Amino acid sequence: MTDPNRRQIISLRDVQKHYGSYHALRGITMDIAEGEFFSLLGPSGCGKTTLLRTIAGFEDVSSGHVLLDGRDMEGVPANKRPTNMVFQSYAIFPHLSVAQNVGFGLRKRSDLDKSAKSALIAEALGMVGLDGYGDRSAQALSGGQRQRVALARALILKPKVLLLDEPLSALDKKLREQMQTELRRLQRHVGITFILVTHDQEEALIMSDRIAVMFEGQIAQLASPQELYRRPVTQQVANFIGVMNFLPVEISMGQGGSIDLDIAGLGRTTIDSAQCPGAIRPGLGQAGLRPETMTLLVDGEDADGHLAEGQVEELAYYGDMTYYDVLLDGATVPVTISMKNLTGRQVLDRGARARVAWDPRALVVFAE
Ligand code: ATP
């Protein structure tokens, strides 16, 4: 949810971008609030970098408007915009020291004397956890430290908006996870609006206040991580964010906003229309359930609510979790069910009969 009292720092109005005959951005309209951690998420080629570059001023829009802090940016070059960008390849200068890299953007600032510049550099290095690294050669840094230098260099100019184009993608998994947490903490600390471009849904979920999911130059859904995960508006979004099982369903309209469903493998149930964020109409459709919303019951366990039966076709043991593929009786494709391997809890074998507890409140239904 956007807070209506928060100032909108970025407003995009029907932004279109053509590269020759290729239509890369197809009418992007959205607002981003001051102090938000906002992510543009989507598969390769969906236009997220192009959108970031139009905000930065590295690309002109073909039509539409980019407003930064209430001002139309038409004709305003990148270096005159209140934004700064951190790139995927850190683009730090190897022949300069860390301090020279961080202070690079200040070199033409005649209003600042040497000691004022040094103080700003020290402050920026402190922000990214590189106190005392100023004199070091930029070459003598690890990947994570280089990325921090790039961040410090961008932050020292005190932009209103920091644009981050896949800034963590060159780092290995452990370091990337660590930097995700640090970047989030840094953003909260400085209070600047961050816009992150990523194709990694987990990264977007972990870090963002809100996420715009993009496909083919359009925003498919703009929502908080929880909302996107729990109430995706289309099957495409549901597939892109985490794992969702789909079962064929027959939809009919019930009384007073309720919807009656007959789901292959799960049977009949009724849900509230508010559970269907996309357009819903009678007929055939797909019912979606996340793997963790179903429970595979083991001997002696009972379900209070809805129960389905089937057979374990395959399982993958991950130590903390087991992922089961279960073919429910009456269904043609297996569903994936994730179970925590709690101490003493039995892990079912391939071929075992499965009793599955499920909750209609977790269903998301898409009409065909
Ligand atoms: P990735 O994650 O791979 O970087 P993306 O979502 O950021 O993908 P963009 O880089 O924005 O995608 O590109 C969107 C589309 O526009 C792509 O099909 C790309 O080939 C095309 N495109 C981008 N820049 C240009 C350009 N300068 N000239 C022609 N086509 C371009």
CATH of the domain at 140: 3.40.50.300
pLDDT classification of 248: cutoffs 50, 70, 90? very high
* Same domain flag for 258 and 230: no
Choose one of 222, 237, 252: the last residue of a domain.
237
* Same domain flag for 164 and 307: no
Q: Residue 3 domain-assigned? A: no
Q: Residue 60 domain-assigned? A: yes
| CATH number of domain containing 276 | 2.40.50.140
Report whether residue 44 contacts ligand 1, using a CB cutoff of 6 Å. yes
pTM: 0.90
Q: For residue 232, which phi and psi values (nearest 5 degrees)?
A: -65, 140
pLDDT digits (tens, 9 = 90+) for 58-95: 999 999 999 999 999 999 999 999 999 887 666 788 88
For residue 1, pLDDT beyond 60: no
Q: What is the mean pLDDT of the chain?
A: 92
Choose one of 237, 264, 289: the last residue of a domain.
237
As a dihedral over the C-alpha atoms of residue 286, residue 291, residue 294, residue 298, rounded to 10 degrees, the angle is 140
User: What does the alpha-carbon distance between residue 366 and residue 218 come to, in Å, rounded to a whole number?
Assistant: 20
| Residue 124 burial (C-beta neighbours within 10 Å; 0-12, 13-18, 19+) | buried
The amino acid occupying position 137 is: S
Both ends of the chain: CA-CA distance in Å?
Answer: 28
Query: How close is the Cα of 22 to the center of ligand 1, in Å?
Result: 10
* Same domain flag for 171 and 30: yes
* Same domain flag for 232 and 146: yes
* Same domain flag for 98 and 177: yes
* Same domain flag for 229 and 280: no
**Highest mean pLDDT of the ranges 86-95, 160-169, 288-297:** 288-297
The residue contributing the CA closest to ligand 1 atom 18 is 45
- Among 16, 19, 44, name the best residue to mutate to test ligand 1's pocket (greatest count of ligand atoms within 8 A of Cβ): 19
pLDDT digits (tens, 9 = 90+) for 176-191: 888 899 889 989 988 9
Count of domains in the chain?
Answer: 2
* Same domain flag for 178 and 284: no
Choose one of 215, 237, 259: the last residue of a domain.
237
Q: Residue 62 domain-assigned? A: yes
Query: How close is the Cα of 50 to the center of ligand 1, in Å?
Result: 6
Cβ partners under 8 Å of residue 256, min gap 6: none
* Same domain flag for 230 and 249: no
| Residue 189 burial (C-beta neighbours within 10 Å; 0-12, 13-18, 19+) | exposed
The residue contributing the CA closest to ligand 1 atom 14 is 47
Higher confidence at residue 146 or residue 11? 11
Domain that holds residue 178: 8-237
For residue 5, pLDDT beyond 80: no
* Same domain flag for 324 and 224: no
* Same domain flag for 227 and 251: no
